[in-house]
Every structure is written in structure tokens, then in C-alpha cells.
A and B are shown apart, each in its own frame.
Chain A
Amino acid sequence: MSSDRRASPSDVVRPRNVGAPIKRTEDPRLLTGNGEYTADRKPDRPLHLAFLRSGQPHARIVRIDAAAARQAPGVVAVFTAEDIADDFKPVVPFSRMPNYYATPILPLASGKVRYVGEAVVAVIATSRYLAEDALDLIDVDYEPLGALARAELALADNAPLLHEAAGTNVLIAREFRKGDVTADLAAATVRVAGRFEMTRKAPLAMEPRSYAAEYDKRRDAITLYTSSNIPGIVRDAVSESLGLSGHCMRVVAPDVGGSFGSKGSLYPEELLICIAARKLRRSVKWTADRLEDVSSSSQAFAEIVDAEMGFDANGIATSLQADVIGDVGAYSIYPWTCGLEPVQVVSFLPGPYKIGSYRGAVRGVATCKPPTGPYRGVGRPISTFVAERLMDLGAAALGIDPLEIRRRNLVRAEEFPYRIASGIIWDKAGFIECLDAAAEAAGYDRLRKEQAEARKQGRLFGIGIASYAELTGIGSRIAVAPGMPINTGSETAKITIDSTGAITAAFGVASHGQGLETTLAQIVADDLGARFEDVRVIQGDSDEVPMSTGTYASRSAVLGGGAAKHASKILREKIKRVASHLLEANADDIEVTEGKAVVLGTDRAVSFKQIAKAVYSDMKTLPVEAREELSATYTYDPVNGTTAAATHIAAVEIDPATCFVRILKFVVAEDCGRIINPMIVDGQVHGGVAQGIGAALFEELIYDEDGQLLTASLVDYMIPSAPEVPVMDVVHVESESAVAGGFRGMGEGGTIGAPAAIANAIADALSPLGIGVSILPMTPERIFRLMEQAQIKRKADE
């Protein structure tokens, strides 16, 4: 650029990192075995923890005899609830919701056990092998109190109470109402209804839960390394429970091997391991084995929904009502409460549709199972399953194409912001655009022709559509979980240029596979004017920012990204001011780019290194008042949050002999706002859809009538492997949101849309046989039974 032509700032071409498929910073270490997951920590002479877990679903603990275990080789300590009673305060998952009972969280079962897998005794020994050996020497006498294996049973009048203090097994009850549903249903041209069930699932991250409490003798302090996606919340809770001030209780989530929600609540084992480290003044490690992980990590979904939808003659959905029973397990989790999952089902049931009147009632019922908690999508995989099944039933009853009925009911571009019947407000997003884009990418009309051909040959070929919307990047005005007292509406970024000129950006969010070290660096690089490779991102460490709640609920791109943008801007202004001294130019004429401050239209520039030297070391260059520390902190709150949306289309064929469902095509059109890294966005969609496929076709945690888990291994709890997952086609409808950066947040969507789309496709495939789909997963066994029943019915009709 010649020096006589002065460019205005907008003319300056800066390398744009946001929007580019930049390769991940995380990868070199993770690909070479140099990652550090919690179980990889090597503290000095660590002790190892093992838990004796309840084999009883519901029983009084009469007596624990651990004398022999205490004498066993290598055993350093054995703790029961009694031994640690004075070492903590129970953690209570408080909420302002009415009709809610908060079950206190204890490190070990006290007085009674409430599910198979609940930790009862902790053994600490010099090796994990020896700790597990000693478990066999412990005797616990139980007095059975009667298993509550299913929510319907727990609702019965004479059912035993799981929490006597609650006075009921219904831990949470709520109802949402708008308009006169009864009247609107009565006036409807067509009413469709069903009893739908989404069975219990395991989020099943590949890394089992793992904790290492590292004891620092010098300060009597603990650093808890935890496979958690909420290290800040864990820090606050453990600190409060153990009476340790925050600077003596650091919580770090190092590399974390997936969570999907299962590592997003406070766990009793996290409390126990910190108590043990403190009592023994030693570092203690624990990693769940797969059985422990499946039978004690928070589980998912488990709802039965009786729902009905009314349509007018034009296929406009006028009314919707639903009664939901959530089987929430034995405890309310911290901090989200047992209301999180089932209440979200009724909050989101109207989905992206303009349904006039609504009544949604929910009861969360305690049973003898591990607590349900967040799992990718939370509530919406089932609300979408139900609403989309009803849409298809309505379409069939009215003879309208499923694509068309959705087009008639989705909120249209000019109607945003739109408050749906349950009260949620959708920010402008491409609902119709996603529907159209998905139909086009799937070749919808062609698929219907293919289907007609297939049907002529007697093949079971089906097409399913699902549209949904989700609240993402939620700010302080909305509670992530209803009535919860902690603030989940803000995140902090702290960006510093040190005396060497190096840039460090610290966040409280906690990546566990999403690649936040990469995407947040992309944002900082652009907004600060640095080179991507020069930005180091620190995250997942409670010592780095004063307060944070972590990564969940599709919030980190919006909240972490928004904080990054604002903090970068503040720091960039500081850089400009220093540079204006050094370059003797007006700060407004300076552009910061590629790690340098440049006087526009000239070749006069100073690097960040030179700027840092001037500020921190070389005391001759700048006047004292110009030596501003090169750091900026910003806490961003999007206040309301934003909306993300998508349409999924699946085409399936069912083999009538084996009853296996083959997915022939899977298309996602999604609007996640401004895309930071398209490679990562596609990866999130792929992974989410694969989990949705698991939920739709394979995955089910089965508990028998005695509350025993029958599917505790990876052989019995089947998640999709490579041959079961089809090639997915992802289309982006990129419309900018109103929050900082135009981001929307998108980590969960795949799991929300896929089960409904597949359910509808299966129902469509089986419709010639008069079979509907009302429960997921549709395993070959379920399909076989339905086909058999249909055949019997056909014969009887003949």
C-alpha cells in the first residue's frame, strides 16, 4: 500500500479467523497421547479410592462392618457416612419453584440407600487394586424398604416414600397454561393424540467420571482435578460444603473426554474425595469403571407424555395439551434440580409452532434409580419427538403433506420475536428457511417418488421430518433450570499481554470436546488484531476468573465468545493508545492487526512485543500515565439469550425379516447464527445426530421390577458404532443473532432433532401396515412385536 493513500479502517483487510475452518489447537497433544485427562494426573504418592455401592434399590442401612477392610493390605482409611459426618455440610439443590422438594446431596448414603449403585462406603488404599480387594471384606446389613422401580408405581397411594421428609414421591409438579385448550380442542376439525415414551438413557461419555484431589501441604489447600464441565460450580459448592475459602479450593477440568451432560452436575464422589484428601492430608485419585459410571452418573430423559393436538381444517394447529410423568430417579441434582429435564419437556413442547392454546402439566417422580440430569438437548429430544409425531398424525388425518403442514405452522420471519404458548420467546431465526433448505438438500420430492416406487415393491420405506428450536446462550434474565438460585447468565474473559508480548486469554468455560481453545482464540485473534497462533486460551480452571459456571446448554460460543469480543476490544484500545505514543500518531489512525499496531496507510508499525516492552520494562519510552497494564477483563451477559433452529430429514428402510432400520439418508439444515468454525460446527452436528440415532434406535437403560440395572455394560447398553451411523449432510442457514458476534450456540441440536425425524420416518415406513411409533428406541424387537400385532389384527379384521 502506498503511503500517500490513506485507507479508512474498514478498508483494511484483516485476516478473518472467525468463519474459517481453522485446524484445532487441541489436536497435536490429543493425537499424540500428550493430552492430560484427570486419570492421567500423577500427583506425589497418590492414594486410591474405591466405593462399595448399594446392591439394594431401597433399604435401611442397619449395620456396616468394615473392621476387616480396615486391616486389609494397603488400606489407609475406610469411611462410612458416620465417619465423615462432621466434615461437610450437605449440598442442597435449592429452587424457588413451588411444589418442589430439594433432596440434600451427601457424599455417602446415610441411614438408607435409594438406588442400586449409590455409594455407601469409601475405601482408600495405596493402589486401586488393593482398595477394590478391601471392598469384598465389608459387610452391610440392609433392611429392604420396597423398590420403586417405575414412576407410575411410585405415584400409587400406598407406595413407600423414598424421601419421608418430602411427604410424597412427587418431587416437582408444574403446569403451564395459555388460552382455553378444552374449548379449542372441542372446536378442532381434527384431534390427534397419543401416549409417548422416551426411555431412560445414559449420556455415556467415553471417558468415565474421574477425580483427583491433590493436596497441597504447604497451604492446606486442595486442587480438585475433575472430569467436569462445570468446574466453577463445583468449586463454589465444595468450598461451601467443606468450609474452604475459594483460594484454598481450586477446581480444574483438564482435558475432559466428553460429557454430554453426565459430567455437568456436582457428584457425591467429588465431595467425598476432597473430604478424604483433607482428612488424610494426601492426594487421592478415583476413576469410575464403566459399571460404576453407567449406574451412578446422571441419566437422561425417562418420560411418559400423554398429549393431544387439535388442528383446524387448514392444518393450523390450534391447541395442544400434555401430561408428563418424569421418572427423575432418587435425588434432585445440584445445581439443576430434578425439574430440569421434565419441566423443560413442557416448556418446549409447542416448539417452533404458533399453537394458540396450551396446557402442559408435569410431575417429576422419585424412583430407585440414579438421578436424571442434563443430557444433550435436555427435555427437547422428547418434546420434539411428541410434537413432531403429532404434526405427522395431524397431517395424515387431514391429507396434508408433512412438509406443508410444518410450513403452515412454523413461526415466519416477520413474526419474530415470537412468544410461544408456553411462554418462551423465540428470537429471530430461520425456522422456515431451515425447513426449505432441508427439503431441498434431501431432494424431498424425489424421495417421495422413490418411496412410491418402493411401496409398489412392498418395501418399507419411510421419510421423516422434524423441526425444532432451542434457547441457547441464555443470559441472566432466564434461569437455565427453573427457579435456580445461581447465576448462569454471564461469563468472563480475561485477556493479558505479558512482558514478553505473549497473549493469554483466560475463561471460565470448560471445553470437553467442543474445541473452545480454538474457537475462542479465533474470536480473540480477530477482535484484538492478533495472529491466531499467538493466542493461548486457558479454560476450565476456577483460579483463572473470579466466577464461572462452565460449559453446558449451548452457551459457550455466545457467552464466552461475547466476553472474548468485549475484552479484546478494550485491550485493543489500550494497545492503540500506547502505540499512538510510540508511533507519534493519532490513536484513531492506528489499526491493530496481525500482532502489530500500524499507522494506517504507512509502514510504521510496532509489534505487541515492542508495546509490552514499552509498557512494562523500558521505562524511558512512555510517560508514566501512559503505562497502562495490557490486560482487560469483561463479564458478558446476553440478558435474554438467543435462539437456534433446525430441520432434520431422515429416510429409512426397514427390513421386514430382521426388523432392522437402515438410515438411507440424513439431512440437517440448521441456523446457528454466525459460524465461528464450520469444521467444528459440522462435527457437533454429526456427533449430536449420532446420539439422536442411538436414542431412536438402540439405547435404553432397563431397570427390572427390583430396581436392578440390566444394561450396565457396553454390550447391553448399545451406543451406535461406525456401521450404524449414516453419512450426514449438513446445510447451514447462517443468520446472525442479535447477541455479540451474531453467534447462536449449537452444541445440542443434533440430539434434539434426530430422534423425532427417525421416529417419523419409521412411522411413515410402517404406515401401510397401520403401525404408529410412540416409544423410543424402536429396537428390532419392538418393531417385530408391532408388526406381529398388526398382522394378528389384520387377520382378525378379515
Chain B
Amino acid sequence: MTMHVSVTVNGETYDVSDVEPRMLLSDFLRDRLGLTGTHVGCEHGVCGACTVLVNGDSVRACLMLAVQANGAEIVTVEGLGSPDELNVLQAEFREHHGLQCGFCTPGMLMTGEDLLRKYPLATDDDIREGLSGNLCRCTGYQNIVAAIRSAAAKRTEKAS
């Protein structure tokens, strides 16, 4: 049995038929839509590399089936900024050297976007707490925290 999935990803609508109900959203994004920016590091919901925004909330794409996303609005890392025009958080990651191998980075960015949108992030400990579901083996987190801190400061500037 296969099903039909209709989703909006990064503003573009995709209608895909013959989707197996068991197909993970992460595999669907990567293999069916060719959006390989979303990475898969564990497939058991721990590493956070596959984090995307589904209807405005951060979600682990490896813990969701593609068919469950039917009708949803999804944002992946490809939807943030472009190499020529990084968005604020991406630019801060570059500025603060918040990435090395880049494998955890899409998940870090999507979680970061979610944190920035929803929480005051008054202290660095709040940022670290917010990142606790995203593993990075390269950076030791220090520069990722700095990047999000800086993006948070810019957010406040903008609001005031």
C-alpha cells in the first residue's frame, strides 16, 4: 500500500504519490524531495541532526513518518538563507565558528531558530539547555552557544 503526501517545504508545494506509510520524514525529504540538507545521525531521535520545523515547531524528522506530515508546512535548512545571503543565525554561526564538519549544523540551526523564536534565552545556560537535544562531536558547543547568543542580541536590537 502506498499513500499520497502533499506538503509545503520551504514555501514550495510538493505532491508525491506512492509514498510507503513506513517512510520516515527524514528519508522522504532527502530521497524523495532531494533536500539532503537535513542530516541523519542516529534515526532514533537522540542526535537532533534531522531537526526541521513542522508547522512552526522543531521536530525530529527521523521520528515522524512522511505520511504524518501530509498537509503540513515544513522548513528545512535549505529554507533559511542562501550561500550568498545567509540568514542572521547562519551568519552568526560563520562569524563565531559554530561549525566544523557541518554535519550537526542543519539540526543546530533549526533548533536555534526555534529557540530564538520562542524563548527569552536570558543566560547562556538557557541556550545550552535548549541545545541539549542536539549533539555535536566537533565544536565542544562553545562557539555554537556564542553564535546563538549573538543572534539573540540582534533579535532584541531589532525588536526595540
For B79-110 the 0/1 string (1 means CB < 8 A from A) is 01111101000100111010111111110010
Query: Per a CB cutoff under 8 Å, which of A31, A207, A289, A682 touches B109?
Result: A31
Q: Is the CB of A32 within 8 A of B97?
A: no
Query: Given the complex, which residues of A lie within 8 Å of B39, measured CB to CB?
Result: 37, 206-207, 257
Mark interface residues in A24-36 (1 if CB within 8 Å of B CB, else 0).
1011111111111
B76 interface residue (CB < 8 Å to A): yes
Q: How large is the interface on B (under 10, 10 to 19, 20 to 34, 35 or more residues)?
A: 35 or more
**A713 with B140, Cβ < 8 A, contacts A39-B40, A206-B41 known:** no
B12 at the binding interface (Cβ < 8 Å): no
Interface pair B128/A683, CB less than 8 Å apart: no
Q: Which of A434-487 contact B (CB under 8 A)?
A: none
Give the contacting residue for A721; candidates B83, B135, B138; CB below 8 A: B135
User: Is A28 a contact partner of B142 (Cβ separation < 8 A)?
Assistant: no
CA distance A290 to B30 in the complex (A): 18
B9-43 CB contacts (< 8 Å) to partner A: 20, 22-23, 30, 34-43
Contacts of A30 in B (CB 8 A): 99, 102, 105
B7 at the interface (CB under 8 A from A): no
Contact A290 B86 (CB under 8 A): no
Choice from B30, B41, B99, B143 contacting A207 with Cβ under 8 Å: B41
Cβ-defined partner of B137 (8 Å) among A31, A42, A683, A719: A719
Q: CB of B46 within 8 A of chain A? A: yes
CB nearest neighbor in A for B141: A722
| B 52-83 contacts with A by CB, 8 A | 76-78, 80-83
Pairwise interchain contact B137-A258, C-beta atoms closer than 8 A? yes
Q: Which residue of A lies closest to B82 (CB)?
A: A32
B20, B101, B102, B133: the one contacting A129 at CB < 8 Å is B20
Q: Does B2 interact with chain A (Cβ within 8 Å)?
A: no
Does B125 belong to the interface (CB within 8 Å)?
A: yes
The A371-423 residues at the B interface (CB cut-off 8 A) are none
Cα of A750 to Cα of B137 in the assembled complex, Å:
13
The answer to whether B141 and A258 have CB atoms under 8 Å apart is no
Known: A33-B76, A727-B142. A208 touches B41 (CB 8 A): yes
Given A33-B38, A35-B102, A206-B103, decide whether A23 and B49 contact each other with a Cβ distance below 8 A. no
Q: Which of A42, A208, A258, A723 contacts B132 (CB 8 A)?
A: A723
Set of chain A residues within 8 Å of B157, measured between Cβ atoms: none
Q: Which residue of A lies closest to B127 (CB)?
A: A722
Contacts of A129 in B (CB 8 A): 20, 22-23
Instruction: State in angstroms the CA–CA spacing of A40 and B78 once bound together.
Output: 14
- The range of chain A's interface size is 35 or more
Min C-beta distance of A22 to chain B, whole Å? 11
Q: Is B116 an interface residue (CB 8 A)?
A: no
Complex contact B139–A687 (CB within 8 A): yes
Q: How far is the CB of B43 from chain A (nearest CB, A)?
A: 6
Stretch at the interface among A104-112, A509-517, A552-560, A599-607: A509-517
Asked if A24 and B49 sit within 8 Å, CB to CB, the answer is no
Alpha-carbon gap, A688 to B12, bound state (A): 41
Interface string of A275-306 (1 = CB under 8 A from B): 00000000000010110000000000000000
Chain A residues near B102 (CB-CB < 8 A): 26-27, 30-31, 35, 255, 257, 513
List B112-160 residues whose CB lies under 8 Å from chain A. Answer: 124-125, 127-129, 131-145
* Bound complex: CA A175 to CA B85 (Å): 59
Residues of B within 8 A of A31 (CB): 77, 81, 83, 86, 90, 93-94, 99, 102, 105, 109
A547: CB under 8 A from chain B?
Answer: no
> Who on chain B is nearest to A34 by CB?
B83
- On whether the beta carbons of B86 and A713 are closer than 8 Å, the reply is no
B43: chain A residues at CB < 8 Å are: 289-290
Question: Are A290 and B132 in touch, CB under 8 angstroms?
Answer: no
A258-B100 CB under 8 A given contacts A691-B137, A723-B132, A725-B141 = yes
Q: Is A425 an interface residue (CB 8 A)?
A: no
Instruction: Give A258's nearest chain B residue, CB to CB.
Output: B101
Question: Contacts A31-B99, A513-B101, A714-B44 hold; do A689 and B140 have CB atoms under 8 A apart?
Answer: yes
| A618 CB, nearest partner CB in chain B, Å | 33
Query: What are 15 A-to-B residue pairs whose CB atoms are below 8 Å?
Result: A27-B102, A31-B109, A32-B37, A35-B102, A39-B36, A42-B34, A206-B136, A207-B39, A257-B104, A514-B100, A690-B140, A714-B135, A721-B131, A723-B125, A727-B142
**Chain B residues engaging chain A, CB cutoff 8 angstroms:** 20, 22-23, 30, 34-44, 46-47, 49, 76-78, 80-84, 86, 90, 93-95, 97, 99-106, 109, 124-125, 127-129, 131-145
